[in-house]
């Protein structure tokens, strides 16, 4: 048995006797062992993050940028190892893991560029006689220690979306990765140290939820940046006290296909957006609304494409859909499918489960109240519903407590403008699916899907505070 991997506390590698087995979701076999940080370790991480914030906040912009470019270089150098790790810990197909590593490098490079661009404003104060001769000088300063908590589905890139902006902002950082996928995050910690980030200012601490909650409550943390499920995220916001909290949560993304859109293209994109990563993406296509005139044609195309997907070993190059993160996650998602079928839904593809695999599933005749529509399924499951008018499609898409991203296929600019104005989402993708995301762009959920924004430029705003100095010459 291999030695368990240690965790990082203020730049120092530590071990413990509490061991986490990291399992390959496809076979269930152990592919790594990781020591879990305990209460004393996170106390030390908090102390280090607080005292060494004094080091990071004095780092000049060019130095922070150089550290991030060095980190991006190390991600490139170790990309093969990172890809292999992501396939094994997350059960992703190799193509998806390759894409994630490329994106992670890009996220860090964008952070490196943004580190040099943190700017301010000069505000003339001669609004009336009292301010004559004075100017306000507005400038962003690092906020303080950032606690980053990340999910399993993009274990490396989502950690980069927090670590990159935190370093760019000049904050110290404690990263708490998901228990299913801690290895790529520990490698990221290793690389951040090698890249020259002040050692005492970085910790990567896989730990139990109760230990993580201790950090969320702790007054030394200035900002909690959380990506994960709505239930956990909103709970953490309640216990976080006065600190700043950013939540990037889940959703049940809708895609509308109107009859004047490119139907074959839309169907191809729905298959990619609904089923890749076994549907475990926060902006996975979950609810598809088809305009009645093209309903039969689009549905038949969709069902053909979904039935043709190859499900299996994520290490095999021909696999389209791998396992879900665990058998229990597949069981929970599949219960929602069964419930829908018992309630009268029809199954046009899939509709079965085998261990951690939910077969790519297309459901019709579902109702808005069913959990396959109302909640986040986070599995390769798509519901299809016809609509008659565009207004009806917008109302159906908006019938959700979530609002992350939505997609709409139409070549009518007026409909696109109407959807942009009326859909209650953080991002609308015209003529592509909800799953489209560029890592430098702003990304956020509204309503139940979160608060605050990611994308390095925007995350830096969340991780800094703007102060004003009144300058009187």
**x/- string (CB under 6 A) for ligand NAD, residues 115-154?**
----------------------------------xxxxxx
CB–CB of 49/172 below 8 Å? yes
Of the candidate spans 138-146, 223-231, 334-342, 415-423, the one that interacts with ligand NAD by CB under 6 A turns out to be: 223-231
Rounded Cα distance between 459 and 21, Å, is 32
Count of residues engaged in binding ligand NAD, rule: CB under 6 A: 29
Tell me how far, at minimum, the Cβ of 290 lies from ligand NAD, in Å.
24
Of residues 48, 56, 184, 227, which one binds ligand NAD by CB under 6 A?
227
Pattern of binders to ligand NAD over 432-471, x per CB under 6 A? -------------x----x---------------------
Among residues 51, 79, 229, 367, which is the contact residue for ligand NAD, using CB under 6 A? 229
Report the residue number, 386 or 455, with the smaller CB distance to ligand NAD: 455
Strand order of the β-sheet with 405-409 is 346-349, 361-364, 381-387, 287-291, 254-257, 405-409, 427-430
**Quick one: residue 277, left, alpha or beta (phi over 0 = left, psi -120 to 50 = alpha)?**
left
Of the listed pieces 9-17, 131-139, 173-181, 392-400, which binds ligand NAD according to CB under 6 A?
173-181
Residue 57 DSSP one-character state: T
| Least distance from ligand NAD to the Cβ atom of residue 218, Å | 12
Of the residues 31, 232, 332, 347, which one makes contact with ligand NAD according to CB under 6 A: 232
Q: What angle do CA 237, 333, 30 make, to 5 degrees?
A: 85
C-alpha to C-alpha distance for 394 and 410, rounded to whole angstroms: 13
Closest to ligand NAD by CB, 209 vs 442, is 209
Half-sphere exposure for 236 (CA within 13 Å, toward CB): 32
Binding piece for ligand NAD, criterion CB under 6 A, among 20-28, 222-230, 350-358, 367-375: 222-230
Alpha-helix runs per DSSP H in 377-412:
390-398
Closer CB to ligand NAD, residue 31 or residue 395? 31
Q: Where are the beta strands (DSSP E) in 24-172?
A: 30-35, 121-124, 135-142, 146-149
Stretch that binds ligand NAD, among 98-106, 176-184, 263-271, 358-366 (CB under 6 A): 176-184
* Catalytic residue list: 248
> How far, in Å, CA of 36 to CA of 16, rounded?
6
* Coil, strand or helix at 5: strand
Report the nearest approach of ligand NAD to the CB of residue 329 (Å): 7
Residue 9 or 178 having the CB closest to ligand NAD: 178
Least distance CB 212 / ligand NAD (angstroms): 3
Between 149 and 381, name the residue whose CB sits nearer to ligand NAD.
149
Q: What is the DSSP letter of 454?
A: B
Q: How far is CA 118 from CA 60, 144, 224, 458, in A?
A: 11, 16, 21, 11
Under the binding rule (CB under 6 A), the answer on residue 253 touching ligand NAD is: no
Cα 362 to Cα 306: distance, rounded to the nearest angstrom: 8
Structure tokens at 294: 């093209």
CA distance 307 to 275: 11
Closest approach of ligand NAD to the CB of residue 439, in Å: 11
Map residues 375-414 to x or -, x wherever contact with ligand NAD holds by CB under 6 A.
Answer: -x-x-------------------------x----------
Footprint on residues 2-21 left by ligand NAD (CB under 6 A): none
DSSP string, 336-362: HHHHHHHTT-EEEE---EETTEEPPEE
Question: How many Cβ atoms sit within 10 Å of the Cβ of residue 339?
Answer: 13
Return the ∠ at Cα 293 (arms to 288 and 294), rounded to 5°.
50
Instruction: Please identify, using beta-carbon distances, which residue of 149 and 271 lies nearer to ligand NAD.
Output: 149
Contact map string, positions 196 to 215, toward ligand NAD, x by CB under 6 A:
-------------x--xx--
Give the one residue of 179, 259, 326, 418 binding ligand NAD; rule: CB under 6 A. 179
Report the C-alpha dihedral over residues 236, 242, 248, 253, rounded to 10 degrees.
Answer: 80
- As measured in angstroms, the least distance from the Cβ of 99 to ligand NAD is 15
**The only residue of 52, 109, 248, 461 in contact with ligand NAD, by rule CB under 6 A:** 248
- Give the footprint of ligand NAD on this chain (CB under 6 A): 149-154, 158, 176-179, 209, 212-213, 216, 227-229, 232, 236, 248-250, 282, 376, 378, 404, 445, 450
């Amino acid at each position: 048995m291999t030695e368990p991997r240690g965790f990082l506390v203020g730049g120092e590698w530590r071990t413990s006797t509490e061991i986490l087995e990291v399992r390959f979701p496809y076979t269930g076999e152990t592919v790594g062992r990781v020591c879990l940080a305990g209460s004393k370790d996170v106390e030390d991480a908090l102390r280090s993050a607080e005292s060494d914030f004094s080091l990071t906040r004095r780092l000049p912009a060019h130095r922070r940028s150089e550290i991030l470019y060095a980190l991006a270089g190390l991600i490139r150098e170790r990309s093969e190892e990172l890809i292999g790790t992501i396939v094994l810990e997350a059960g992703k197909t190799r193509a998806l893991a390759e894409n994630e590593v490329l994106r992670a490098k890009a996220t860090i490079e964008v952070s490196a560029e943004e580190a040099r661009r943190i700017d301010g404003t000069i505000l003339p104060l001669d609004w009336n006689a009292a301010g004559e001769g004075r100017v306000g000088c507005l400038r962003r300063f690092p906020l303080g220690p950032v606690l980053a908590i990340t999910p399993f589905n993009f274990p490396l890139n989502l950690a980069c979306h927090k670590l990159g902006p935190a370093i760019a902002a000049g904050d110290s950082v404690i990263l708490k990765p998901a228990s299913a996928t801690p290895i790529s995050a520990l490698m990221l910690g290793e690389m951040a140290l090698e890249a020259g980030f002040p050692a005492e200012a970085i910790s990567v601490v896989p730990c139990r939820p109760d230990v993580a909650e201790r950090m969320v409550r702790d007054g030394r943390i200035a900002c909690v940046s959380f990506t994960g499920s709505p239930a956990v995220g909103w709970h953490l916001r309640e216990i976080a006290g006065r600190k700043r909290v950013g939540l990037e949560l889940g959703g049940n993304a809708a895609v509308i296909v109107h009859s004047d859109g490119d139907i074959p293209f839309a169907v191809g994109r729905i298959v990619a957006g609904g089923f890749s990563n076994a549907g475990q993406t926060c902006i996975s296509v979950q609810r598809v609304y088809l305009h009645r005139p093209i309903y039969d044609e689009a549905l038949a195309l969709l069902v053909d494409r979904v039935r043709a997907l190859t499900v299996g070993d994520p290490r095999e190059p021909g696999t389209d859909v791998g396992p879900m993160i665990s058998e229990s996650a597949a069981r929970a998602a599949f219960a929602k499918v069964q419930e829908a079928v018992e309630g009268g839904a029809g199954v046009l593809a899939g509709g079965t489960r085998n261990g951690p695999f939910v077969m790519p599933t297309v459901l019709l005749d579902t109702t808005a109240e069913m959990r396959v529509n109302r909640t986040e399924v986070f599995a390769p499951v798509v519901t299809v519903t016809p609509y008659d008018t565009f207004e009806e499609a917008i109302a159906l898409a908006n019938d959700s407590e979530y609002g992350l991203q939505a997609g709409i296929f139409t070549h009518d600019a007026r409909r696109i403008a109407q959807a942009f104005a009326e859909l209650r989402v953080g991002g609308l993708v015209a003529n592509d699916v909800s799953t489209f995301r560029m890592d430098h762009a702003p990304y956020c959920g509204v309503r139940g899907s979160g608060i605050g924004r990611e994308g390095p430029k925007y995350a830096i705003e969340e991780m800094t505070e703007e102060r004003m100095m009144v300058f009187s010459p």
